[in-house]
Amino acid sequence: MPADEDPPVTAPGRHPAPTLELVAARAGVSRATVSRVVNGSPSVSPPIAAAVRRAVQELGYVPNRAARSLVSQQSQAIALVAPEDVNRFFGDLFFADIVSGIDSRLEDSDYVLNLMIANHEPSGKTMRYLGGGAVDGAIVVSHHTSDRFLRRITEALPVVFGGRPSVSGLDTYVVDVDNVAGAATATRRLIERGCRRIGLIAGPLTMQGSIDRVTGWRQALDEAGVEAGPVVDGDFTMFGGTAAMREMLEGRDRVDGVFVASDLMAAGAIPVLLDRGIRIPDDVAVVGFDDSAAALTAGVPLTTVRQPSREMGWRMADILIKVLAGQADVPRELILPTELVVRESA
């Protein structure tokens, strides 16, 4: 059986599946020419390639992906690796936007997406899969400073990171936002409202993005000469935001503003304030980060820092596809802008 052709399986009452020979006959070219076009060879002239693609579309011909991978030594699959708790991955709308962006870019390619959700330290089984030829490259999101697998995965295959990894010297590509600048913008909004005791509900400080948002918060406070309020870890979850807000209110330090480093945590924190009769923003102003759907379901419409999560997903997939195609002019680091979205909470 030729490497790029499916066997002509016929279901009862249906016509045989179109073959490479039928496509060649329809396009008026040789079978070898059809094979080159199907496999992406640039050696076919544009008019002939267009005729072949037209015949493929008219006949509904579908190449055999598995057989083609034997010829090209590529799996035509990429992995989205999230070293994260399953509940957190599916409960955070940020990841949904990332996946949506990746999927929209892959629609225009031959690649399929394999989703791999691991714990904070992916197992040997995960690494064997990633390094064993099942995928051509990987996109890694939500990585932690404790992730020992970061160096191993970049040595095994091409990788694009969503967010700057804390491990230095990696042969990789990065798509991120300026978390320091975004957090500083959020904090300045609170300062401009007159807040003088500004707390922070942070994400896990094992993640570089969380560390950068703490840095931006402190930077804005220092510039304005405002004393830093309490810092509590909210774990980038709604439940964590709830627990963190309770802890902050039960502490000795009173706050009149809170920067919450993700909208999901803010959605957990705001009901705690409201339940205690604290008026938002009159008594305590709140600013989040992400501009996800959680910003509109937090009890009070949330002022937040928008990061282009869907575009981040699209860009990560685009960079990886270009790297796998051998393009040389691919940026090693792409930093996307953030912007403040003002609503009722601050």
* Separation between Cα atoms, residue 241 and residue 255, nearest integer Å: 16
pLDDT at 283: 96
- 3-state secondary structure labels for all residues of 306-328: ECCHHHHHHHHHHHHHHHHCCCC
Task: Say if residue 295 is in the same domain as residue 189.
Answer: yes
**40, 55, 72 - which closes a domain:** 72
* Separation between Cα atoms, residue 102 and residue 280, nearest integer Å: 36
Greater confidence (299 vs 123) lies with 299
Query: What does 194-207 look like in DSSP terms, one character per residue?
Result: T--SEEEEE--TTS
Sequence-ordered strand ranges (E) for 127-212? 137-141, 159-162, 173-177, 198-202
CATH classification at residue 29: 1.10.260.40
Please state the domain count of the chain: 3
pLDDT at 203: 93
Q: Per the domain annotation, does 28 fall within a domain?
A: yes
List the single range of 2-11, 94-103, 128-137 with lowest mean pLDDT. 2-11
List the single range of 37-46, 133-142, 292-301 with lowest mean pLDDT. 37-46
Question: Tokens 């959605």 belong to which residue?
Answer: 267
List the single range of 60-69, 139-148, 165-174, 217-226 with lowest mean pLDDT. 60-69
Quote the radius of gyration of the chain (alpha carbons, Å).
25
Position 11 pLDDT exceeds 80: no
Question: Tokens 């399986």 belong to which residue?
Answer: 9
Task: Say if residue 300 is in the same domain as residue 183.
Answer: yes
Task: Say if residue 63 is in the same domain as residue 127.
Answer: no
Position 117, amino acid:
I
Q: Per the domain annotation, does 8 fall within a domain?
A: no
Task: Say if residue 34 is in the same domain as residue 183.
Answer: no
* Contact between residue 68 and residue 39 where contact means Cβ atoms under 8 Å apart: yes
Tell me the whole-structure pTM to 2 decimals: 0.74
Using DSSP bridges, classify how beta strands 198-202 and 159-162 pair: parallel, antiparallel or unpaired.
Answer: unpaired
* Separation between Cα atoms, residue 287 and residue 344, nearest integer Å: 10
Task: Say if residue 61 is in the same domain as residue 97.
Answer: no
List the single range of 24-38, 133-147, 174-188 with lowest mean pLDDT. 133-147
Task: Say if residue 241 is in the same domain as residue 229.
Answer: yes
* Separation between Cα atoms, residue 326 and residue 39, nearest integer Å: 16
Task: Say if residue 111 is in the same domain as residue 164.
Answer: yes
The SS3 assignment for 230 reads strand
Confidence of residue 89 (pLDDT cuts 50, 70, 90): confident
Task: Say if residue 148 is in the same domain as residue 214.
Answer: no
User: Which pLDDT tens digit goes with each residue over 93-130?
Assistant: 788 899 999 999 998 888 899 888 766 555 577 777 77
Q: Per the domain annotation, does 5 fall within a domain?
A: no
* Contact between residue 160 and residue 319 where contact means Cβ atoms under 8 Å apart: yes
Confidence of residue 152 (pLDDT cuts 50, 70, 90): confident
Task: Say if residue 31 is in the same domain as residue 87.
Answer: no
User: Which pLDDT tens digit goes with each residue over 253-273?
Assistant: 889 999 999 999 999 999 999
Q: Per the domain annotation, does 297 fall within a domain?
A: yes
Task: Say if residue 291 is in the same domain as residue 322.
Answer: no
From residue 165, give the alpha-carbon distance in Å to each of 123, 152, 214, 292. Answer: 19, 13, 16, 23
* Contact between residue 163 and residue 344 where contact means Cβ atoms under 8 Å apart: no
Residue of 116, 179, 121 whose CA lies nearest to 150: 121
DSSP-assigned letter for residue 166: S
Q: Per the domain annotation, does 294 fall within a domain?
A: yes
pLDDT at 49: 86
Position 276 pLDDT exceeds 60: yes
Q: Which span out of 38-47, 89-98, 312-321 was modeled with the highest average pLDDT?
A: 312-321
Q: Per the domain annotation, does 2 fall within a domain?
A: no
Q: Per the domain annotation, does 162 fall within a domain?
A: yes
DSSP-assigned letter for residue 304: E
CATH classification at residue 144: 3.40.50.2300
Task: Say if residue 198 is in the same domain as residue 110.
Answer: no
Task: Say if residue 190 is in the same domain as residue 224.
Answer: yes
Position 310 pLDDT exceeds 90: yes
Which residues constitute the domain of residue 221?
A: 179-307
Position 66 pLDDT exceeds 60: no
Q: Per the domain annotation, does 4 fall within a domain?
A: no
Average pLDDT, the chain: 84
Residues facing residue 112 across a β-bridge: 77
